[in-house]
Structure 1
């Protein structure tokens, strides 16, 4: 039996779970939200204690230190000291062409993760920060990296190559890498259990501050909305998603922006934030209810982009058995789910409005009985998937690691 701490550092959040493996027993879990914003929030729960408090958290380092203090609190903590955690699993968004499997972290691995900052500027930096802070707090724990890009290694060349000169692929490894792979893998496996068919055509829609959609055939990723870096595809909290490349050239050549300024704009100032002034969908939905036209349009645009990908991936797989909504927005926003599934009868998608309105942490079907496509809400558990991979790796002999 091992206690495995899983750290999932997102672009504006830090999720964690302390899990006893292989029993998959969660000792404690929690979330630090809105990191770097004025109104942050820290939530922590264990079997004997829970707390939720508003607090400003300036960066990921501060967030992880706060979590650690709660885990080792003399009165309400679940461990006495750092030695009770032999292994820590870290979600790392971009592994480039260097990492395709879960790996023990050393200085070389950290250096390589750092070289990939430019490909995932919102994610790899906080991912590496999480690793470095964990190393200082848990110096005797084995630090393990689990890469979001690994699940998408099965995408075939016809889908993962760009129509630019071959030399860019052959010499610089420019291709579709894909992201949120840990989440898409976990929920698609749950969906296959739910519909009792391993040979399934599934579209998994991960909607959070970052968003992506994956075509999964017989358990393998065959196409994905995010590509070389996690900025294209669906409209996200602060990221633009798909955009005509000509707009970028126009901004540089005609409007006087530098390449770095455009990159910063597309990563940090676009998406729902650029359209509405808000990056959190809860704020946008509240404003839309009040009649805010920009917020109403942004919700429509968001859903429309998802619908286009559903149509494309249904065509690519020549069929569709199930759609999964997952992650913070996918699991909790009945508004987005309803907008996405509206007027999709041609593809055999019919939403049950009553089921869609229900809030639950359980796997549930929200399509009608007449719907030819199962529409499922499946809470993602990237942390458990990471813990499984960490346990598998650390259970082998030291030499094999």
Structure 2
């Protein structure tokens, strides 16, 4: 648990000399085993949680420099204190850390408006596999001087070096917002609704999340007394938030007007607009309690794939039908981000039916293969925001084009010829 970049550099240099592997860790909220040692060789677990300083906030430049161990919630609070916002938001906001978010190219609910971490990082500081330090902490929005090296570390899951700090992009703090929950007849209706709303309010759509009927049922059954603000009579529901930094804009009135127009066009079956912040929080609680509720409901297999937005209406019924046909007792749910094509396909399996780890693992492998195959069939990706980690190394080899794997291995070999940095993640260990 180093406390400075120099301590990280000293440790990495020592490990390089001793040929000991290094597994970087942050808040340990990842979902694909990217921060877990393989156990087949000696390794140092390099936890960066002590490196938790915010080094600089430049409000005029809309940038913030944070060390890798900074918790996302603390970064957001620091930005808010300067009347700015760092827009990345996900369920683990109180424990995930900046280094891990950079290294996994995290997404969350704000990708539609702000992009993933690739769009939110201006600069990176990293310790390279030989122990040298690269100071790429430049807070520039335009820098065309050669290769954009920081992008190599964003999403690399610690396989090319250890991210120790990052310059993050800030935005004006939001002053007004409005939230609604809408009932829809299908996924295509959700895609059409998003396109309609974008044409009406532009980039003021802060979030646009879809939940299936069954997913909300599970949350209500296992979510500690949570309630739905509307009757569950439709197959899909969308949670939408409009927001803006201008206090003069009446977000609530605008949302109501646009929803009336959407109802007239048949894009929405029914809608509820939150009248205050507390009611908005109750609506979003349905989204934020999904993971915990599903785990209470049974053995959960959650996928993280993406397809072009135009093909979501094909993708969802395709994977649902295949899972229900091929995996006994699977209750299939859907939740995720319509605006970036990343809807999580979730299979909840009864613990009464799946009683052993071997049964659970076999079912999970089947579900994952079904979802991955369908995603690739529709020109999608097997990983949208969670990364590859240890879990999907073999799947990456199966579904990635050989020339892409060849280029990735060449980058890995150039940075880490000894193969010491987080071995066995993304690419098979040599």
Instruction: Please classify the TM superposition score into its range, dividing by the shorter chain length.
Output: under 0.3
Structure with bigger RCO (C-alpha 8 Å, 6+ apart): 2
